[in-house]
């Protein structure tokens, strides 16, 4: 999911980077990353995390259409995408049971994202949502350990990926002195590698499971 909010921030980031005056190689990396992330949803089909990867996979294309064709603010769009990513990790039964809560949460987050202050609240909202995503992934990891007595490294890689996203937002919030173009290349190559990993291994892949007993 790339998010570029004047810095490179998540797997949505690189769509808006295309508009900037970056080099041809940067644009090639951007399009390649968008292309690679179309495959994890296919690989994860019918797994517990299928909807999560589906949101990530289509968010770039939808984001490009919304921000370029319909001139909708990318910041507010990515708040919605981050919320959808969090919801996608919930089980359908739980969503039905708590639908009023999630509808209220969604409306509140979307409304808050439109408040304009010295530092726009949408960046805090997206960071908060990804923190919640990390907690959700770790919860799924612990439940697998408890129920099946195995360590599934898939969830650890996924949690680490989300943690790197959170670090990008912290970099933005605390205004660390990082060269933007170097940062772009490092994060994009990393996201390409992660995309290939999740295209290769499914959530239920036996190669990523270590039996405790």
> pLDDT, tens digit, for every residue of 83-129?
889 999 998 888 888 878 777 877 777 777 666 655 567 777 888 88
| Both structure tokens of 188 | 């994009």
Neighbours of 59 (CB within 10 A): 26
Q: Where are the domains of the chain?
A: 2-211
> pLDDT, tens digit, for every residue of 153-211?
999 999 999 988 887 777 666 666 666 667 777 878 888 899 999 999 999 898 999 98
Cβ neighbourhood burial of 169 (10 Å; 0-12, 13-18, 19+): buried
Quote the pLDDT of residue 18: 44
> Using N-to-C axis directions, what is the helix angle for 180-200 and 24-36, rounded to 10°?
30
Cβ neighbourhood burial of 46 (10 Å; 0-12, 13-18, 19+): exposed
Rounded to whole angstroms, the Cα distance separating 124 from 113 reads 9
Rounded to whole angstroms, the Cα distance separating 37 from 57 reads 5
Quote the pLDDT of residue 74: 66
pLDDT category at 13 given cuts 50, 70, 90 is very low
pTM of the model: 0.80
Residue 71 has pLDDT above 60, yes or no: yes
Quote the pLDDT of residue 28: 81
Place of tokens 């990790």: 89
Instruction: Single out the residue of 71, 83, 78, 59 nearest to residue 5, CA to CA.
Output: 78
């Amino acid at each position: 999911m790339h998010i570029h909010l004047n810095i490179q921030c998540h797997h949505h980031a690189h769509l808006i980077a295309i508009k900037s005056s970056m080099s041809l190689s940067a644009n090639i990396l951007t399009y390649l990353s968008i292309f690679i992330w179309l495959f994890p949803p296919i690989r994860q089909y019918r797994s517990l995390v299928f909807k999560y990867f589906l949101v990530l996979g289509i968010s770039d294309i939808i984001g490009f259409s919304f921000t370029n064709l319909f001139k909708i603010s990318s910041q507010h769009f990515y708040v919605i995408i981050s919320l959808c990513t969090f919801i996608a990790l919930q089980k359908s039964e739980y969503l039905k049971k708590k639908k009023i809560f999630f509808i209220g949460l969604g409306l509140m987050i979307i409304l808050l994202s439109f408040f304009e202050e010295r530092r726009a609240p949408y960046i805090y909202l997206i960071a908060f949502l990804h923190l919640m995503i990390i907690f959700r992934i770790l919860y799924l990891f612990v439940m697998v350990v408890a129920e099946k007595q195995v360590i599934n490294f898939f969830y650890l890689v996924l949690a680490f990926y989300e943690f790197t996203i959170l670090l990008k937002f912290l970099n933005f919030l605390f205004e660390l002195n990082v060269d933007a173009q170097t940062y772009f290349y490092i994060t994009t190559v990393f996201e390409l590698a992660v995309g290939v990993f999740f295209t290769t291994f499914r959530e239920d892949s036996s190669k990523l499971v270590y039996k405790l007993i």
